[in-house]
Structure 1
Amino acid sequence: MKAVLLGLFASLVISGCATHKSPTGRSQMLLFDEAQMSQMGAQSFDAMKKAEKISTNKQQTAYVNCVANRITAVLPDQSLNWEVVLFDSDQINAFALPGGHIGVYTGLLKVASDQDQLATVIGHEVAHVLANHGNEQVSRSQMTNAGMQMADIALGAGGVANKDLYMAGLGLGAQVGILLPFGRDQESESDELGLELMAKAGFNPAKSVTLWQNMAKAGGEQGPELFSTHPSHSTRIADLKALQAKVTPVYQAAKKQSLAKCQ
């Protein structure tokens, strides 16, 4: 049994080996190339457009496009033609997918009450794409699943009693020890990168704190941060406040440009 556990541990360690660096210098392992991720993103977005109701509110759609377009206009890679869709749903959410796809739910507009707050969310989601977080998640999931399959085979071959119990325990260990904290790292990184993007686009990064205070009110009580893929609201707000000194000069420089207000 000890040998099996050591083998699983080794396989999980291998899954953390770095082959790339994120925009903030964090180590990453990416198993898929850009074309593969773009294809996955396009397929997922097409499926969502078929499954979800798309808003017919022209004013709200134009408003969301205005904010999103200003964010994507400051990205280092201008080769993508970003597609933005406003979904008619009470979900307080938004997302961005590899290949240049942004989805925003109308429910978010009730919480993100101005252009700066909406830019906080869109900047955060676009930052996930910029930092290859989708590739990371798919890569790590694939490697972790491979390690679990190896452990399952080894336990079965060794005739270990209560194999299902051991596998359940190993699965929890992988989830809490690797996948969930990894998700929190991505979220914090996207907060930082998203602030930089919105500041460059001329949106007030100080409003990010207001946005997440509103999110905390709308989201209710959270479970323990240990078992969440997102930082707690209090952690996120504290981190955003700490980043203001870094991004405020960027915002002040961008304000000197003549930027039309999104409304």
Structure 2
Amino acid sequence: MALPSPPRLSRIASLGAVLALCACAANPVTGRQQLILVSGAQGAEMGAQAYRDIKKEKPVLPAGNAYTQRIRAITERLIKANDLPAYDWEVNAFADDTANAFALPGGKVGVNTGLAKVARSDAQLAAVIGHEIAHAVSRHGEERVSQQMVIGTGLQLGSAALGAGAGGNAQAVALMEQAATLGIVLPYSRTHESEADEIGLFYMARAGYDPREAITLWQSMAAQGGERPPEFLSTHPSEGSRIENLQRLMPRALDLYRKAGGEG
């Protein structure tokens, strides 16, 4: 396969330069530089639309349901204790057996009933919900959308530079797509997850939930078993990596917990 000429290589390499130069926002909690090309209002609308779609697809438990009331109380406590943004917060429980939760841009939160099988205490639920609302506050959804916008533009430029019609050049474009996934999308996803773990741990501690329960939660998750891809091919850190990172952060989290009136 013939290599592209230097001018073509420079056009392909422009993707990395654009990503570096367009880090035009800072994470409001950690200060990490972020690539965000959509406004907060646009992100909130995307989140609201996605949430409406999810509510059409999955059964929503009624407001009077005990589980709904429980997760709403935990979320409200987290929001108040951490002085979180005045989003149009909405929290619902979904009748879904998978142990999962999510938070979308603009403060739309969903917690599956199946999560209660793993997160057995309010503190463990707070660990999950705190992690998810950390994604929303950190604007990780908008960051991912922005990354995909830039990657899409870069791949179009690369495809045009290589003349993707020939078999060899089509293979080169496919390799570029794989490199973008391994080199940009997945590492950024793991960055988001680790960042949300850290922020969520401090959120729960400030709200008076024992942060050590976060480690218990991830130990329970790890005990669920099942095949997982290697960490470098996963959008999430391994449970072992998460636990190790949480243990590193635990002294600060415990200090926040004690200041909130907790013991230990």
TM-score, with structure 1 as normaliser? 0.92
2:96 to 89, 96, 108: 89
- The number of residues matched between the two structures is 256
The offset of 1:135, in angstroms, is 1.1
Kept in 2, the 8 Å contact 1:12–1:143? The answer is: no
Asked whether 1:192 is paired with 2:198, we answer: yes
Q: Whole-Å Cα distance in 2 between the matches of residues 105 and 98 of structure 1?
A: 18
Q: Whole-Å Cα distance in 2 between the matches of residues 135 and 75 of structure 1?
A: 22
The corresponding residue for 2:219 is 213
RMSD of Structure 2 on Structure 1 (CA): 1.8
Q: Whole-Å Cα distance in 2 between the matches of residues 78 and 19 of structure 1?
A: 20
Aligned-partner residue type, residue 98 of structure 1? P
1:6 to 4, 10, 14: 10
The offset of 1:219, in angstroms, is 4.5
2:245 to 232, 239, 250: 239
**Long gaps (5+) in structure 2:** none
What is the CA deviation profile of residues 113-147 of structure 1, one whole-angstrom value per residue up to 9, with x for unaligned ones?
A: 10111100100000011111111100001000100
The corresponding residue for 2:43 is 37
Aligned-partner residue type, residue 193 of structure 2? E
The corresponding residue for 2:24 is 19
State percent identity of aligned pairs. Answer: 40
Q: Whole-Å Cα distance in 1 between the matches of residues 24 and 101 of structure 2?
A: 29
Asked whether 1:140 is paired with 2:147, we answer: yes
The corresponding residue for 2:113 is 106
1:120 to 94, 105, 127: 127
Q: Whole-Å Cα distance in 2 between the matches of residues 33 and 123 of structure 1?
A: 23
TM-score, with structure 2 as normaliser? 0.92
Q: Whole-Å Cα distance in 2 between the matches of residues 109 and 2 of structure 1?
A: 57
What is the CA deviation profile of residues 165-199 of structure 1, one whole-angstrom value per residue up to 9, with x for unaligned ones?
A: 11111110000011100111111111110011111
Q: Secondary structure at the match of 2:17?
A: helix
**Long gaps (5+) in structure 1:** 257-263
The offset of 1:222, in angstroms, is 2.0
What is the CA deviation profile of residues 201-230 of structure 1, one whole-angstrom value per residue up to 9, with x for unaligned ones?
A: 111101100000111112523211110111
Q: Whole-Å Cα distance in 2 between the matches of residues 233 and 163 of structure 1?
A: 39
The corresponding residue for 1:62 is 69
Kept in 2, the 8 Å contact 1:199–1:254? The answer is: yes
Q: Whole-Å Cα distance in 2 between the matches of residues 219 and 150 of structure 1?
A: 42
Aligned-partner residue type, residue 12 of structure 1? G
The offset of 1:76, in angstroms, is 3.1
Q: Whole-Å Cα distance in 1 between the matches of residues 83 and 156 of structure 2?
A: 40
Q: Secondary structure at the match of 1:73?
A: helix
2:232 to 219, 222, 226: 226
Alignment of 1:151-190 (within 5 A): 151-156=158-163, 161-190=167-196
1:47 to 30, 43, 53: 53
Aligned-partner residue type, residue 173 of structure 1? A
Kept in 1, the 8 Å contact 2:99–2:114? The answer is: yes
Q: Whole-Å Cα distance in 1 between the matches of residues 5 and 112 of structure 2?
A: 49
Kept in 2, the 8 Å contact 1:72–1:82? The answer is: no
Q: Whole-Å Cα distance in 1 between the matches of residues 227 and 243 of structure 2?
A: 15
Q: Secondary structure at the match of 1:102?
A: strand
